[in-house]
Amino acid sequence: MSPLANYQALVARVDALCRQIGAEWGEQIVCRQGCDSCCRHLTLFPVEAAALAAALHQLPEATVAALQQRARSATIDDPCPLLVAGSCQLYAARPLICRTHGLPLLIKGTDGPRVDYCAQNFAGVASLPAAAVIDLERLNSALVAINQLYLRDSQGDAMPASERIAIAAALLLRESGEK
């Protein structure tokens, strides 16, 4: 089994949920491929970084070199280094946060639970059914567990499970996910 198999299975489940939300609420959702308003230079779990690096190395060498050059000059306050002319160059392999960003997320904060989504989405919608809301805590718990399995199975204790990797740094990893 591939070290990324559990992550890829989670991505498939999240994609299915996002497709379901899109099928029901598509006319209310502005966020989609080509929308880059929120595409910032984020940090990822090591398993996400390894998946992104693996996808990067499937691209033509010239594209890889150009994206890695962008990554070398990126700062954490910049837009995502994968954005070229407003389009994500690894859209099919984008991390979970990018897949769910803008969609209704159940966030359990100190003030109690709330549903958050892009202000451009769901204009005029008073409430959303539970099936249209992604439980962020549940998603993050699954991602943390999968990251821990990935670290155990592929890198041992070389990298702390809590360490996050900037997208630019992920683009500079070798295909195996190593520096």
What are the tens digits of pLDDT across the range 52-64?
999 999 999 999 9
Domain-located, residue 177:
no
Give the chain's domain count.
1
What pLDDT shows up at residue 161?
A: 58
State the residue range of the domain holding 162.
5-171
What are the tens digits of pLDDT across the range 126-156?
889 999 999 999 999 999 999 999 998 886 5
Domain-located, residue 179:
no
Domain-located, residue 178:
no
What are the tens digits of pLDDT across the range 33-57?
777 778 888 899 999 999 999 999 9
On the CB side of 38, how many CA atoms lie within 13 Å of its CA?
16
Tell me the C-alpha distance between 2 and 82, whole Å: 25
Domain-located, residue 176:
no
Predicted TM-score of the model (pTM): 0.88
Domain-located, residue 61:
yes
Q: In 3D, which of 162, 114, 159, 165 has the Cα closest to residue 137?
A: 114
